[in-house]
């Protein structure tokens, strides 16, 4: 069965621009979480969506937002990009919670110049 | 505030020997712990998990030990193989936090043939 698909794989944006990243979860998975990975910081939790509702949110500024559609696909948006937003953004999906398996996509590498 | 800490950023081990990766946590509300492995240019993949009601869980060459009183867990890989070379992330879930999973900063394991 298809895994978690993230698009695009690579992205270069200019400071001040905005960006939208997409995540298609495994078929049947209703929970989608987003993480930011930077060197030395590990994976920082951004937010989690379940059945189109945001269930959890990490400690990121309001420039970071997301949503989930009725087919469980999720998008993450970052507005007014800063150089420090350069990172690997990872999406993970599961049926309902981490106990049921938590599968990551390959990520979107965002570079802000 | 790093609630999940992996104090060793890197570890080198000879092939065939034991690899021990350590993880400390500070939040006593964590009730479920996971280890993920990550290769470059790929998303993390689930390796093994342990519930806080257990102190050990084995899966083939991988064993996770949990010491709740010390708020410490470790991953043992025996015997280590070159294909185990990757970054290993320790993660923990809040008992009341749905899918909110907190990751450590990772330990890069190199298994030398």
* Strand-pair category, A10-13 with A108-112: parallel
Half-sphere exposure of A64 (CA within 13 A, CB side): 19
| pLDDT reported for residue A35 | 94
Rounded to an integer, what distance in angstroms lies between the CA atom of residue B85 and that of residue B107? 10
| pLDDT reported for residue A16 | 97
Residue B21 forms beta bridges with which residues? B75
pLDDT greater than 70 at residue B85: yes
Q: Who wins on pLDDT, B79 or A42?
A: B79
In chain A, the residue whose alpha carbon lies closest to the alpha carbon of B32 is A99
| pLDDT reported for residue A25 | 95
Q: Which of B99, B100, B102, B106 to mutate to test the interface with A (most CBs of A within 10 A)?
A: B99
B42: distance to nearest CA of chain A, Å? 5
B42 contacts on A by Cβ (under 8 Å): 106
> What three-state secondary structure class fits B81?
coil
pLDDT for A18-64, tens place per residue?
999 999 999 989 999 999 998 777 889 899 999 999 988 888 999 99
pLDDT greater than 70 at residue B45: yes
Give the range among A35-39, A100-104, B76-80 with minimum mean pLDDT.
Answer: A100-104
pLDDT for B11-23, tens place per residue?
999 999 999 999 9
pLDDT greater than 90 at residue A108: yes
CA–CA distances in Å: residue A56 to residues A62, A87, B3: 14, 21, 17
Rounded to an integer, what distance in angstroms lies between the CA atom of residue B35 and that of residue B55? 15
pLDDT class for A74, splitting at 50, 70, 90? very high
User: Is A107 within 8 Å of chain B by CB?
Assistant: yes
């Amino acid at each position: 069965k298809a895994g978690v698909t993230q698009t695009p794989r690579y992205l270069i944006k200019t400071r001040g621009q905005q960006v939208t990243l997409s995540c298609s979860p495994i078929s049947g998975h209703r929970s989608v979480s987003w993480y930011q990975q930077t060197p030395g910081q590990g994976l920082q939790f951004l937010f989690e969506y379940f059945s189109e509702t945001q269930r959890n949110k990490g400690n990121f500024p309001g420039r970071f937002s997301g949503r989930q559609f009725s087919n469980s696909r999720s998008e993450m948006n970052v507005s007014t990009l800063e150089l420090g937003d350069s990172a690997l953004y990872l999406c993970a999906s599961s049926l309902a919670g981490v106990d049921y398996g938590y599968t990551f996509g390959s990520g979107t590498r965002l570079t802000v110049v | 505030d790093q609630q999940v800490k992996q104090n060793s950023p890197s570890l080198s081990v000879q092939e065939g020997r034991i690899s021990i990766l350590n993880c400390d946590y500070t939040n006593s509300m964590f009730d479920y712990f996971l280890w993920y492995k990550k290769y470059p240019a790929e998303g993390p993949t689930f390796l093994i998990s342990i519930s806080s009601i257990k102190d050990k869980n084995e899966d083939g060459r991988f064993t996770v030990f949990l010491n709740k009183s010390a708020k410490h867990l470790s991953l043992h890989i025996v015997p280590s193989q070159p294909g185990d070379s990757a970054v290993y992330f320790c993660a923990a879930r809040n008992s009341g936090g749905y899918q909110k999973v907190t990751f450590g900063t990772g330990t890069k394991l190199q298994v030398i043939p």
